[in-house]
A and B are shown apart, each in its own frame.
Chain A
C-alpha cells in the first residue's frame, strides 16, 4: 500500500538528463558510512580516479534534502531497517586500450563512446557501473551521484533498485556557448561552468573567445592582440590559462570548440593591426555593424588573409579538439563598400566581394585542414553566401530555428543554436545607450519550458537526420559577466543537455515539460548545494509540491 502510494508521487526521481532506459523501485537504500567506489579498470587513468574522488566528495557534501514538503523527514523511519550500499564497482568492458577521459572526450563525434549501464540493487549488494570507455564510466558516475539525498546526515536513495540497462546520448554534440569578449569571465568562472556542464552531461564548450569589443586570448605568436585588445592586463587568457581550461574540460568529458569570429566581429584587432581592419570604429556604427564598435578584417587584402590564417593556426594548433570555428556571422557589406583599401584590392584582383570572401574562407579553412581540424561556421556562410565549403564543415544555425532545414538541404552537418529557442541573453532589455524605449532584439526571454519543446528534427527528412549533430544554448555577454553568469545560465542550459542526450522519455514518449519540471528543480537545488548559483524557477512552495503550480492544477 505504502509503496504504491510512493510510486504515484511525481518527481521521485531526479536524474537529468533522463536515461535511455530506466527502471526504478520504491525502496529506501542507505549509503553505507564506509561506502567506497571500487575501480575495476586496469591501469586506471588519473582523470578517472579524480572523477571517482569527486563523486565521493559530492556524495558526502551535496547534503541535498528531497524536494518534498517534509524534505525527507518521513523517510527517516525506514533508515534503520533499510539495507546499506557498501560499494559501487566501476568496470571497463573493453580493456584493449584504456584511455584517459580527456582523450576520449576530444575524439571526433562518431568515435566518442559515452554510454554506460548502471545497476543498483536494493539489497545492499554492490552497485555496478560498466561502460566501454572511461568517458562512459564518467557519465555513469554523474548519474550515480544524482540519486542521493541527505536527511540528518544519512545519505540515501528512495528509488532503489535502480536499473539503467542502457544510457547513451541521442546526439553527439551537446554544448554551451560562452562569449568572453563583450565582458570578461575569469578562469574560475569558466571552470565552475565546466563542472556544472559535466553534471548534466554536456560535452562541448563553444568558447566565443574574441569579438569586436575585446581580444582576451593571448597567443605567443601574436602577443600584441591581447596586449592592445584585452580590457586590461588581468583580463587575459594566457596560453597556460587556455591549456588549464582545455584540460579541466577534457577531464570532465568536455571538448573545447574555440571560435575566432572572422571576418566580422574583429574591430578590436585594429588596436594592434589597424592595417587589417576596415571601417574601424566608423560612425554611425549602425551603418557598419550590428553593434558597436564597427570593424571587419579586410578580407580582400592578401596580407590580411595571411594574417588571419596565421592567427587561426596559432589559436587552433594548441587545442586538442577536432573542430575550430571561424565564425562568419553578420558580415556587413557597407563596411567594405566604403573602405577604399578593400575596393582597391578587389579591383586589382578582379574579384567581387563574394569571391574574395570565398578565397578568404578557403584560406582560413585550409589552415585548419593542415592542422587536421574541421571548420565550424555560423549559418550565413552557407545561407547568405555562395562559398565552396568542404563537406566536413559544421554549420551552426542561430538566426532562426526555421533555417535548420535549409542548411540540411545543403547537406551540411548542423548544430542547433537558434536564437528563438536557445539564446540565454534574450529578454533582458536593450543595452544600447540613448534608447529608453528599446527592448531586447530577441524578446521574449527564452524560458526553459520553451527551449524544452525544441524538436531537433523539425522539417528535416529522415535521410537528413544524420546531419543533426546536436545543439547548444548560448550566452552572449553584452549584459552578462561574473555577476550573473550562474543565474542566467543555470538551470536553463540543462535543457539542451536533455533535449540532445535523452531526446525522449525512457517509456518512449516525447519529452514533456510537465514531467520534467520536478527533475529540473532537483538539478537547480543540487547545483546550489555544489556552489553554482542556479536561479529559482518557482516559489519554493511549488518546488516542494510537484504539479501543484501547473497552469491547470
Chain B
C-alpha cells in the first residue's frame, strides 16, 4: 500500500519547482505547452539593451534547457494530457510603473542597497491567452524572467507545465543575497567567474563579493599599481586586467548582480611585499604560524604614515574600477605578534605616541576616507567592530554609520555586531562556508582536519535563522547573507560542484525568508541541480538519482 501511494505521488510533482520560492504563488492543475512560435514581447518604453539581451537569453533557455520532469517516468505519463493542452503563444514583459523612468538592469542592480526594486508579478493563464510579467523596474522584470524560465519541462520536444494557471507575486525578504569567491588562493579565469554569475542570477543572488587578492597572490591589475599584479600574480595570464574587471562587472550588472570587491587590509597582504617590501611587516616570516593564520605571513605596516598613504591610494585606485556602492577593506585576522616583532612598526608607534589600537584606528579611518572620497561605503569583517574577539583593543576602531559588517567567525557573534548598530551581512563559517569539511590542507600534518569541520550541508544552511536573538530594531540591520568559497582547496576543477547547489540554499533563505522546510525544499533543489547541468554548470549531486525521482522516499523517516 505504502509503496503504491508513493509511486503515484511521485508521478505528479506536488508544486512548481521554483527556486527561490516566490512570496506568493497559486497554481492550477491544467497542462499548458509553449506554442511553437512562442515569443517574449517587451512592453517597455525604450527598452534598454540589457533587458533585450535578458529576454533573448530567456528564450534561449526555454529552447535548450530540455529538462525532463524529475519523476520516475520523466514525464511520459503527461504525454496524453499534452496533446490536448492549450498553447501559450507569448509572454508580455511589461514595465508597470506609471510615469516611472526606465533604467537599465545594470543601473538598477548597482543602485544603493535598500533602494532596489526586485519585485514582480507573473501570470500564466491556462486558457492559451498570453502570460504577463509586470514589474516597476527592469531589475524586477529580470527576476521575473528567471522565474518564468523555471516553470517548464521538456518531454519529447514539447515544453510544458502541468500546473497552469500560475499566479505569482514575488519580492525578496532581504536586499543582500550574495556569494563570495576568493580568487587569490587559487586563480579562476574570467570564464569561470562569468559562468558563476550566470548561475547566481538563475537563483536571484544579487551580489558577488569578490575577495580578489590575498597574501598568496595579487591578480588584480590596478591602474597606477601595475607592479602589484606583475610581481604578485601567479603568472602573467593569472591576472584580472581593468578590461577583465569591466567585463565582469558589466556582465554581472546585466544579470542583476552588484560586485563588491575586497582588498583585505591590513592583514592578508603578504604578496604586496614582492613589489613594495617597505610596506609589509613580517613578510614570509617563519614559523608562519606565529605570524599569520595561514602561510605566507605578512601584513601592511599600519603604523607607518607612508604605508597608510599607500593603502589609501591603492584602495581609491581600485575603487575606480568598480561602479557599485560598496568596497570591502577586509580587516580580518590581524596578527598582533607580527607587529610586535616588526622594528619599523614599533618605532613608528613610538614616534607617533600611538597605541597599536589607535594606529589601527587611524589606518582604518584613512582607508575608509579614501573610499568615501571615491563615493563608496566601506564593508569590513566583524573583527573591526568593538565586539571582536581576536585581539584586545584599548580603543575600538571607529567606523562610519554606513559601514557594513560581515559576520564570519561565528553566527553567535551576530547579536554583538547588531548591538554595535552597524548593518550586517551573514557570512558565518558555521553555516555558510563552502570550503569546510575537506580536510586540512597545511602540509606535514597528516592528522589535520578542516578547521571549520564539518562540511556545511545545504540543509544546515537552509535552517539558519537570520534574526535569531535579535530585537526588532536590530533585525532591521540585517541586510542579508551569503555563501563563501575560500579557495585553498578549490580551483576551476571543482568550482561548480563545490558551490552548486549549496549557494542556492542561501539564495532562497534570504530571498524567500527563513522558516523553509528542508523536506519540501529538497525536490525543488534537485531541480536546480538538474537545470543547472542542462545549462552547463556542473552542480553536485545531492542524492542517488533514485531518490531524486521519488520525492520523500529517501527521507530519514520514509
Contact = CB atoms under 8 A, between A and B. Distances in A.
B445 A551 contact: yes
B33 to A, nearest CB: 22
Contacts of B497: 483-484, 487-488
B445 A479 contact: no
Interface size class of A (residues with CB under 8 A): 35 or more
Nearest to B522: A433
A11 to B, nearest CB: 11
Given A213-B546, A293-B553, A483-B497, A551 B442 contact: yes
Contact of B543 (A231, A431, A536): A431
Interface string A410-454: 000000000000000001111111111111100111111110110
B441 interface: yes
B295 A183 contact: no
Interface stretch (A37-45, A278-286, A349-357, A358-366): A278-286
A551 B185 CA distance: 17
A439 B457 CA distance: 8
Contacts of B494: 484, 487-488, 533, 535-536
B459 A182 contact: no
B403 to A, nearest CB: 29
Interface string B497-511: 110000000000000
Interface string A526-541: 0010000111111111
Interface string B452-487: 011111111011000000000000000000000001
B519 A528 contact: no
Interface string A435-475: 11111100111111110110000000000000000000000
A451 to B, nearest CB: 9
A464 B448 CA distance: 32
B83 interface: no
A484 B454 contact: no
Contact of B538 (A231, A433, A484): A484
A421 to B, nearest CB: 11
A488 B496 CA distance: 13
Nearest to B541: A481
Given A434-B519, A440-B454, A534-B493, A517 B545 contact: no
B287 A552 contact: yes
B554 A553 contact: no
Contacts of A553: 286-288, 295, 443-444
A429 to B, nearest CB: 4
A281 B2 CA distance: 9
Nearest to B437: A427
Contact of A285 (B456, B493, B558): B558
B113 interface: no
Of residues A483, A486, A534, which shows the largest number of chain B Cβ atoms within 10 Å of its Cβ? Answer: A483
B538 A438 contact: no
B207 interface: no
Contact of A433 (B496, B518, B549): B518
Contact of A549 (B295, B522, B553): B295
B538 to A, nearest CB: 4
B216 interface: yes
A547 interface: yes
A448 B438 CA distance: 10
A470 to B, nearest CB: 21
Contacts of A313: none
B534 to A, nearest CB: 12
A117 interface: no
Given A436-B459, A449-B440, A540-B187, A444 B448 contact: no
B411 interface: no
Contact of B491 (A440, A480, A535, A550): A535
B235 interface: yes
A541 B541 contact: no
Contact of B439 (A449, A484, A533): A449
B493 A483 contact: no
Chain A contact residues: over half helix, strand or loop, or mixed?
A: loop
Interface in A333-388: none
A14 B133 CA distance: 59
B494 to A, nearest CB: 4
Interface in B113-157: none
Contact of A283 (B2, B458, B539): B2
A491 to B, nearest CB: 10
Contacts of A214: 544-546
Of residues B216, B294, B545, B552, which shows the largest number of chain A Cβ atoms within 10 Å of its Cβ? Answer: B545
B496 A432 contact: no
B3 interface: yes
B463 A283 contact: no
A478 B544 contact: yes
Chain B contact residues: over half helix, strand or loop, or mixed?
A: loop
Contacts of A438: 457, 459, 556
B449 interface: yes
A443 B286 CA distance: 33
A514 interface: yes
A212 B491 CA distance: 34
A284 B557 CA distance: 6
Contacts of A392: none
B225 interface: no
Contacts of B545: 182-184, 213-214, 231, 235, 481
Nearest to A436: B459
Contacts of A440: 454-455
B447 A433 contact: no
Interface in B221-245: 234-235
B42 interface: no
A235 B296 CA distance: 47
B439 A551 contact: no
Contact of B455 (A445, A537, A550, A551): A445
B515 interface: no
B535 interface: no
B257 to A, nearest CB: 23
Interface in A256-304: 268, 280-281, 283-286, 291-293
B235 A483 contact: no
Contact of B454 (A213, A427, A486, A548): A427
A513 interface: yes
A116 B271 CA distance: 45
A447 to B, nearest CB: 3
Interface in B513-558: 518-519, 522, 533, 538-547, 549, 552-558
Contacts of B92: none
A450 B439 contact: yes
Interface string A196-237: 000000000000000011100000000000000001100100
B464 to A, nearest CB: 10
A212 B215 CA distance: 48
A548 B493 contact: no
A435 B421 CA distance: 35
B388 interface: no
Interface string B309-341: 000000000000000000000000000000000
Given A445-B450, A535-B491, A540-B187, A427 B556 contact: no
Contact of B519 (A213, A433, A445, A536): A433
A429 B457 contact: yes
Contact of A487 (B487, B493, B556): B493
B540 A484 contact: yes
B448 A449 contact: yes
Contacts of A235: 545
A526 to B, nearest CB: 13
A552 B296 contact: no
Interface in B172-187: 184-187
A482 interface: yes
Nearest 10 CB-CB pairings of A with B: A447-B439, A429-B457, A213-B546, A541-B216, A487-B494, A484-B497, A550-B444, A182-B544, A533-B493, A539-B185
18 contacts: A214-B544, A283-B2, A283-B3, A431-B542, A431-B543, A434-B556, A435-B556, A438-B459, A447-B448, A448-B439, A452-B446, A483-B533, A533-B492, A536-B186, A536-B491, A537-B489, A539-B487, A541-B215
